[in-house]
């Protein structure tokens, strides 16, 4: 069938015309196309419009076709008429569908028998001489049926199978004006009315300060042309076909922008159902392979000279050279929709809030560097006359060692374990509360600017239509019931989902168990590797055992985390599919929650082990705790486990950001794009030449499909955990997060603009479940930081010694106070060092870090009173720290209102203006009716109308600036 025989959705006679009439129609349309203006012809050639150059392509469907090696050939006229009859029969019912299917088969047999020397090529069914493929035939008729339904819904379709991409056919979809109006009313879209009002500006000193700040930050703003001054705003109202006179319809082509048009078409595609079995909209058809892809078009090429929003976004947003500028969030929302706009607005605010956190973190780190030489405990450890002999760190192969050899570790630990750390933990807890409050205010401001106020109440219910998979399961359940039962099954019960719920619980526990097992395996690696390195004859290797073991173990943990992240993402999706959630929103929330739990446990389990468990389940010399009767549990070095925690945290955080968040995001899309080019047999051409030859919908076909915002949010939530949860041990975490996010914003922008197909614009008034996860992480961070300061660092032991046990109130003698004595003759048999003379002298007493009674006391090796004093203070500190920080966070929450005051006033004024606008419209209607009833009514109405206009002009305090395109007689000051 020729392309033009199928592309005329507005005229059914074109589809049903004989072959010679189709040729006439084709040539007529070809002449019309030739007569178009150069600009329209260019747009048509770029694939943004239909072949007539007038109708815009709002959506694209692609499907698999088989083509002849030598090119396309037309079908016989009888074959065309048969397929047209089949297409029409699909709209009548399944019985007519079966009759015409048999007619189609018989007609094909007659054609092949009457023309044996020149077989007819069928682009759907394969090459000449090929037998009729049942699966391809089924897909073809399903497409015919679905496309017929779309035409019945009012959409206009045009097919293109003669493309430069082998084996791919395209269905171009256009929504005419009446359909856009109908769907906009059904979807309750808010559109700008003719009414334009002036937003009240600041006054006095505040205005001067604001103006000064605006001039200072002017270089930071992107060069995006604003079509409307910032102090003027269109009054918006839910679109209604009965109230079209309220809206500015002077340019109907641009009243609904491309973002809105594609979202409207997508809603139609989702709810259009065929009569064929289990056909439930475009989602079902994509899943069954009837169509291979569905996407809206980008509005142009980033390399072309003509202006378009995509090129502007590429130059002023997705460019690393403008990393210091603010994001054009309004343009991002205009092009990609509110949901993606909110993500980048949140990411931008989060990055801005990291600036003060980074500054304070660097100050804390520099304080540690400046005071390391004045730290008395590290000075005592590093003193050359220090002659403290420490007990072996492992059995047999490890020998006694001098405490002075831990000098470097002790000095490095002070950089992250000093009094400023406590202040920084409190600061970061308040910072998290400020960030959450700031985002709520920013979100409300965006809701007002983007006309999303009241979205949840009016429009959220429209998103609750069932998913295709859910309806499929309900249909399966209905078919499995007894046919004699006449009551209809409308939903899945908890009993139906019970096997899926049980599978979810078991698999989640299993995956968490896998994470614990891997962490335990890394523990065994550290223990065995430490013993093996101590047996080395190389003195350099033996002197760097601790650093080697810590670093390699952290790298192993990082590699495992990166691998399991991908596995857990796939497992979470599989488990969510098993549950068969009813709506897309429910599916997304359940998927996010499962993925977050698995990835959070995966990323933080090794860190939690080092922070809270390592060195606390060790035992003591002569009575150590063993695993598998041969692996002695690890203990912290004298500098404490905080240094190891810092190493693990930094390697995991930086590794995930550099490898997973950046390298994978850059490399994987490019690799997939290359694979698609190779599969499409287009690899022989240069990319620039190929892009010039391909039309817009062909070029977008090679882009990566949009997979949602879950991966983007997830990596930022995990990073937020690194920044807040263990910030007491790594004050430089906000700085590294800031540097990563500056790159991340531009990297994500580049990906959305150039690497991904244009996503369907989705409306949203908030970031959804992600806010709850952020709030939960911020609350958990307070608890974890309290425990890190109390139990992981030496802050509490130092404070207890200084104020309770120090003879002069200083830190002198603190190291000796934390070390207990052990008589080496009390070693278990076979556990003593193999080389007891390693230090050159016989050791009778060695020291170990613990609060225990000496061997010469009446209760040798029992826990001392100092231990209980330190434990009591630690627990008290945890309780006080949590309550104080939580109270301060609540005060911040109470002091900062969620909705800015000026937004509240604007919303209230807008309601008044809307009422005033409606009253004037009603008054105008009444005048029209009265004018029809009486002759003098027209004069009275005119007089009344003129007086109203005069009053309106007198009330206006300002007029719209010239050239702004605003109606000066309809502005009103707030």
pLDDT of residue 344: 95
Split at pLDDT 50, 70, 90, the class of 129 is very low
Is beta strand 623-624 parallel, antiparallel or unpaired with respect to 626-627? unpaired
Res. 214: pLDDT tops 80? no
C-alpha to C-alpha distance for 222 and 332, rounded to whole angstroms: 12
C-alpha to C-alpha distance for 232 and 236, rounded to whole angstroms: 13
Ordered DSSP codes for 421-461: HHHHHHHHHHHHHHHHHHHHHHHHHHHHHTT-TTHHHHHGG
Find where tokens 């025989």 sit. Answer: 5
Instruction: Compute CA distances 199 → 96, 451, 766, 902, whole Å.
Output: 61, 15, 24, 10
Ordered DSSP codes for 778-814: HHHHHHHHHHIIIIISSHHHHHHIIIII-SSSSSTTH
pLDDT of residue 108: 45
Q: Provide the angle, in degrees to the nearest 10, between the axes of the packed helices 258-271 and 329-336.
A: 40
pLDDT of residue 305: 66
Res. 969: pLDDT tops 50? no
By the 8 A CB rule, do 378 and 414 touch?
A: yes
**580: exposed, middle or buried (Cβ count in 10 Å: 0-12, 13-18, 19+):** buried
C-alpha to C-alpha distance for 850 and 818, rounded to whole angstroms: 6
Res. 15: pLDDT tops 60? no
**Average pLDDT of the chain?**
78
C-alpha to C-alpha distance for 157 and 50, rounded to whole angstroms: 9
Res. 193: pLDDT tops 80? yes
Kindly state the greatest CA–CA separation across the chain. Answer: 125
Split at pLDDT 50, 70, 90, the class of 296 is very high
Ordered DSSP codes for 943-974: HHHHHHHHHHHHH-S--PPTTS---GGG--B-
Question: Residues 6 or more apart from 630 whose CB is under 8 A from it?
Answer: none
pLDDT of residue 970: 39
C-alpha to C-alpha distance for 870 and 877, rounded to whole angstroms: 10
The closest of 767, 721, 766, 715 to 741, measured between CA atoms, is: 715
Question: Residues 6 or more apart from 727 whose CB is under 8 A from it?
Answer: 361, 424, 425, 428, 733, 734, 781, 785
Mean pLDDT of 872-879: 92
Res. 505: pLDDT tops 70? yes
Split at pLDDT 50, 70, 90, the class of 25 is very low
Q: Which carries the bigger pLDDT value, residue 673 or residue 137?
A: 137
Mean pLDDT of 626-637: 78
C-alpha to C-alpha distance for 620 and 820, rounded to whole angstroms: 10
Question: Of 344-348, 595-599, 747-751, 892-896, which range is least confident?
Answer: 892-896
pLDDT of residue 895: 85
Question: Of 345-349, 404-408, 931-935, which range is least confident?
Answer: 931-935
pLDDT of residue 59: 94
pLDDT digits (tens, 9 = 90+) for 756-803: 999 999 888 889 899 999 999 999 998 998 998 888 888 899 999 988
In 161-266 the beta strands, taken as DSSP E runs, fall at 168-174, 190-198, 232-238
Is beta strand 631-632 parallel, antiparallel or unpaired with respect to 626-627? antiparallel
C-alpha to C-alpha distance for 753 and 263, rounded to whole angstroms: 18
Question: Residues 6 or more apart from 260 whose CB is under 8 A from it?
Answer: 180, 184, 189, 761
By the 8 A CB rule, do 86 and 104 touch?
A: yes
C-alpha to C-alpha distance for 249 and 240, rounded to whole angstroms: 13
Res. 115: pLDDT tops 70? no
Split at pLDDT 50, 70, 90, the class of 127 is very low
Q: pTM here?
A: 0.81
**625: exposed, middle or buried (Cβ count in 10 Å: 0-12, 13-18, 19+):** exposed
Split at pLDDT 50, 70, 90, the class of 680 is low
Backbone angles phi, psi at 541, to 5 degrees: -60, -40
pLDDT of residue 460: 53
pLDDT of residue 281: 81
What is the per-residue burial (b if ≥16 Cβ within 10 Å, else e) of 401-416? bebbbbbebbbbbbbb
pLDDT of residue 101: 43
The closest of 25, 31, 34 to 4, measured between CA atoms, is: 25
C-alpha to C-alpha distance for 257 and 926, rounded to whole angstroms: 34
Instruction: Compute CA distances 23 → 4, 29, 77, 85, 191, whole Å.
Output: 9, 10, 11, 19, 43
460 is written with which tokens? 């959220």
By the 8 A CB rule, do 145 and 279 touch?
A: yes
Mean pLDDT of 274-297: 79
pLDDT of residue 16: 41
- Alpha helix stretches (DSSP H) within 159-256: 177-186, 205-216, 252-255
By the 8 A CB rule, do 1 and 83 touch?
A: yes
pLDDT of residue 89: 41
Split at pLDDT 50, 70, 90, the class of 10 is very low
pLDDT of residue 294: 93
By the 8 A CB rule, do 234 and 956 touch?
A: no
Split at pLDDT 50, 70, 90, the class of 297 is very high
Split at pLDDT 50, 70, 90, the class of 72 is very low
C-alpha to C-alpha distance for 729 and 645, rounded to whole angstroms: 7
Res. 327: pLDDT tops 70? yes
Split at pLDDT 50, 70, 90, the class of 364 is very high
The closest of 202, 239, 394 to 900, measured between CA atoms, is: 202
Split at pLDDT 50, 70, 90, the class of 938 is very low
pLDDT of residue 201: 64
471 is written with which tokens? 């309806």
pLDDT of residue 60: 94
Question: Of 28-32, 439-443, 474-478, 850-854, which range is least confident?
Answer: 28-32
215 is written with which tokens? 């001039």
Question: What are the strands of the beta sheet with 389-390, ordered from one edge?
Answer: 401-402, 389-390, 845-849, 819-823
Split at pLDDT 50, 70, 90, the class of 510 is very high
Mean pLDDT of 735-763: 91
pLDDT of residue 3: 39
Residue 643 Rama label (left phi>0; alpha psi -120 to 50; beta): alpha
pLDDT digits (tens, 9 = 90+) for 589-620: 999 999 999 999 999 998 898 888 887 888 88
pLDDT digits (tens, 9 = 90+) for 402-437: 888 888 888 888 888 888 888 898 899 889 989 999
Look at the alpha carbons of 838, 839, 845, 848 in this order and tell me if their dihedral is positive or negative: negative
Split at pLDDT 50, 70, 90, the class of 12 is very low
Split at pLDDT 50, 70, 90, the class of 962 is very low
C-alpha to C-alpha distance for 673 and 494, rounded to whole angstroms: 42
Split at pLDDT 50, 70, 90, the class of 28 is very low
pLDDT digits (tens, 9 = 90+) for 891-924: 888 888 888 887 888 888 888 888 888 888 777 7
pLDDT of residue 87: 40
pLDDT of residue 132: 44
Task: Tell me the range of 256-260, 270-274, 404-408 where mean pLDDT is highest.
Answer: 256-260
Question: Of 329-333, 452-456, 557-561, 808-812, which range is least confident?
Answer: 452-456
Find where tokens 């995930």 sit. Answer: 656
pLDDT of residue 293: 92
């Amino acid at each position: 069938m020729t392309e033009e025989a199928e592309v005329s959705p507005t005229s059914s006679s074109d589809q049903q015309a004989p072959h010679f009439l189709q040729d006439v129609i084709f040539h007529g349309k070809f002449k019309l196309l030739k007569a178009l203006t150069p600009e329209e012809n260019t747009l048509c050639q770029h694939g943004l419009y239909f072949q007539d150059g007038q109708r815009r392509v709002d959506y694209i469907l692609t499907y698999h076709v088989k083509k002849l090696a030598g090119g396309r050939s037309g079908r016989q006229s009888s074959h065309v008429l048969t397929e047209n009859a089949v297409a029409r029969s699909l709209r009548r019912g399944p019985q007519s569908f079966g009759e015409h299917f048999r007619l189609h088969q018989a007609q094909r047999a007659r054609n092949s028998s009457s023309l044996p020397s020149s077989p007819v090529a069928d682009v759907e069914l394969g090459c000449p001489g090929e037998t009729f493929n049942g699966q391809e035939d089924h897909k073809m008729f399903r497409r015919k049926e679905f496309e017929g339904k779309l035409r019945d819904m009012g959409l206009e379709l045009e097919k293109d199978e003669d493309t430069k991409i082998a084996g791919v056919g395209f269905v171009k979809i256009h929504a005419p004006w009446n359909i856009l109006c109908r769907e906009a009313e059904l979807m309750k879209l808010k559109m700008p009315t003719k009414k334009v009002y002036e937003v009240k500006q600041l006054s006095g000193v505040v205005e001067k300060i604001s103006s000064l700040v605006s001039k200072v930050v002017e270089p930071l703003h992107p060069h995006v042309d604003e079509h409307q001054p910032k102090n003027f705003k269109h009054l918006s109202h839910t679109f209604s076909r009965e109230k079209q006179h309220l809206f500015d319809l002077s340019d109907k082509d641009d009243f609904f922008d491309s973002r809105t048009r594609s979202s409207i078409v997508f809603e139609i595609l989702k709810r259009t159902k065929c009569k064929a079995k289990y056909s439930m909209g475009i989602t079902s058809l994509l899943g069954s392979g009837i169509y291979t892809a569905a996407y809206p078009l980008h509005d142009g090429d980033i390399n072309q000279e003509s202006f378009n929003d995509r090129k502007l976004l590429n130059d002023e947003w997705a460019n690393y050279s403008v990393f210091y500028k603010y994001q054009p969030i309004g343009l991002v929302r205009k092009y990609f929709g509110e949901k993606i706009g909110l993500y980048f607005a949140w990411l931008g605010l989060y990055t801005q809030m990291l600036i003060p956190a980074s500054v304070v973190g660097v100050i804390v780190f520099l304080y540690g560097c400046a005071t390391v030489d004045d730290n008395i405990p590290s000075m005592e450890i590093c003193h050359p006359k220090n002659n403290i002999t420490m007990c072996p760190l492992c059995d047999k192969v490890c020998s006694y060692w001098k405490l002075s050899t831990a000098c470097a570790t002790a000095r490095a630990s002070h950089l992250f374990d000093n009094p400023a750390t406590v202040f920084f933990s409190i600061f970061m807890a308040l910072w998290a509360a400020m960030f959450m409050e700031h985002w709520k205010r920013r979100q409300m401001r965006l809701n007002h600017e983007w006309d999303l106020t009241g979205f949840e109440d009016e429009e959220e219910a429209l998103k609750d239509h069932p998913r295709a998979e859910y309806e499929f399961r309900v249909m399966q359940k209905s078919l499995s019931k007894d046919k004699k039962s006449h009551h209809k099954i409308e939903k899945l019960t908890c009993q139906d989902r019970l096997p899926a719920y049980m599978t979810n619980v078991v698999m989640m526990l299993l995956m968490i168990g896998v994470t614990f097992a891997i962490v335990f395996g890394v523990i065994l690696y550290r223990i065995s590797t430490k013993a093996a390195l101590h047996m080395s004859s190389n003195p350099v290797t033996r002197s760097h055992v601790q650093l080697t073991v810590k670093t390699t173990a952290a790298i192993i943990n990082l590699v495992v985390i990166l691998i399991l992240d991908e596995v857990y993402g796939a497992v979470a999706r599989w488990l969510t599919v098993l549950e068969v959630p009813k709506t897309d929103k429910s599916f997304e929330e359940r998927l996010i929650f499962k993925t977050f739990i698995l990835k959070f446990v995966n990323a933080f389990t090794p860190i939690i082990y080092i922070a809270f468990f390592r060195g606390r389940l060790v035992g003591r010399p002569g009575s150590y705790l063993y695993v598998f009767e041969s692996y002695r549990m690890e203990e912290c070095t004298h500098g404490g486990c905080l240094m190891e925690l810092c190493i693990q945290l930094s390697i995991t955080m930086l590794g995930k950001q550099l490898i997973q968040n950046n390298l994978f995001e850059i490399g994987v899309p490019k690799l997939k794009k290359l694979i698609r080019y190779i599969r499409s047999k287009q690899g022989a051409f240069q990319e620039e030449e190929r892009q010039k030859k391909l039309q817009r919908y062909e070029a977008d076909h090679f882009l990566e499909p949009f997979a949602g915002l879950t991966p983007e949010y997830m990596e930022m939530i995990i990073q937020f955990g690194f920044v807040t949860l263990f910030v007491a041990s790594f004050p430089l975490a906000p700085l590294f997060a800031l540097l990563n996010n500056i790159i991340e914003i531009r990297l994500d922008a580049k990906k959305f603009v150039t690497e991904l197909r244009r996503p369907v614009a989705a409306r949203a008034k908030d970031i959804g479940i992600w806010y709850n996860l952020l709030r939960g992480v911020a609350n958990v961070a307070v608890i974890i930081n309290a425990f890190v300061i109390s139990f992981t660092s030496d802050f509490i032991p130092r404070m207890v010694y200084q104020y309770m046990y120090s003879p002069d109130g200083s830190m002198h003698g603190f190291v000796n106070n934390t070390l207990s004595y052990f008589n080496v003759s009390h070693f278990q048999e076979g556990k003593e060092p193999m080389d007891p003379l390693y230090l050159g002298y016989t050791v009778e007493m060695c020291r170990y870090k613990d609060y225990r009674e000496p061997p010469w006391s009446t209760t040798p090796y029992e826990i001392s009173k100092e231990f209980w004093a330190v434990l009591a203070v630690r627990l008290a500190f945890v309780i006080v720290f949590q309550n104080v920080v939580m109270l301060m966070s609540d005060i911040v929450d109470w002091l900062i209102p969620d909705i800015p005051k000026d937004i509240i006033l604007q919303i209230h004024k807008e309601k008044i203006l809307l009422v005033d606008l409606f009253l004037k419209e009603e008054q105008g209607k009444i005048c029209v009716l009265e004018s029809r009833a009486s002759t003098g009514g027209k004069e009275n109405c005119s007089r009344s109308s003129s007086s109203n206009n005069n009053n309106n002009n007198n009330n206006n305090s300002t007029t719209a600036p010239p050239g702004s395109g605003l109606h000066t007689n309809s502005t009103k000051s707030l």
